[in-house]
Amino acid sequence: MSTEAETDPRKVDAIIERWGRDPSFVIEMMQDVQQELRHLPRAALEQLSAATSTDMARLYHIATFYKAFSLEPRGLFSVQVCTGTACHVRGAARSLDALSRELEVEPGETTEDLLFTLEGVRCLGCCSLAPVVAVGPDLHGDLDSSKVKRLVKKYRKRAAKMEADNA
């Protein structure tokens, strides 16, 4: 998993070069860094700043303004629990609590193994599936608290398979 100490400057350089070092594409470069490293490490922002002549203050402003960016490492899987009205009425709070217990993190936190980041979100736009949880791009409807252990186990297995495939 990527950490500050493991940030490979060559990956960031490749992203910067792909965008032609053009400061007008700094947000796109930050999106690519976020995608590659699952957060925006300080070293990567410094590299981006130097390559594009963009002030660090501007980069931090962008990174803290947009919710899509994170200055802290995020999990391989983003777990978003819908807490909108339909999901709330159908028990989303219990599902969120169960996920929090199972992952041993509070909403907004990332597991120590960097596999999961847990979040409560206002609406995922699929009220008929309430309560709904998104794990990355995958939607899981009618996810009551009794199904949480099985869901987490499924994604732990997927992570293990991904790691084995990359070894």
pLDDT reading at 5 higher than 50: no
Q: What is the mean pLDDT of the chain?
A: 93
Tell me how far apart the terminal alpha carbons of the chain are, to the nearest angstrom. Answer: 13
Rounded average pLDDT over 38-52: 96
CB atoms within 10 A of CB 112: 9
Dist. CA 156–CA 19, nearest whole Å: 35
Predicted TM-score (pTM) of this structure:
0.80
How many CA atoms are closer than 13 Å to the CA of 128, on its beta-carbon side? Answer: 0
Strand partners, 78: 117
pLDDT at 6: 60
What is the maximal distance between C-alpha atoms in the chain?
Answer: 52
pLDDT reading at 167 higher than 90: no
> Closest Cα to residue 33, out of 64, 50, 8?
8
pLDDT reading at 3 higher than 90: no
Query: Which segment of 4-8, 51-55, 77-81 scores lowest on mean pLDDT?
Result: 4-8
Dist. CA 136–CA 73, nearest whole Å: 15
Q: Where are the alpha helices (DSSP H) in 3-147?
A: 9-18, 26-37, 42-52, 56-65, 85-89, 92-103
pLDDT reading at 35 higher than 70: yes
Q: Domain 77-166 sits in which CATH superfamily?
A: Glutaredoxin (3.40.30.10)
Dist. CA 118–CA 121, nearest whole Å: 10
Q: Is the preceding omega at residue 131 within 30 degrees of 0, hence cis?
A: yes
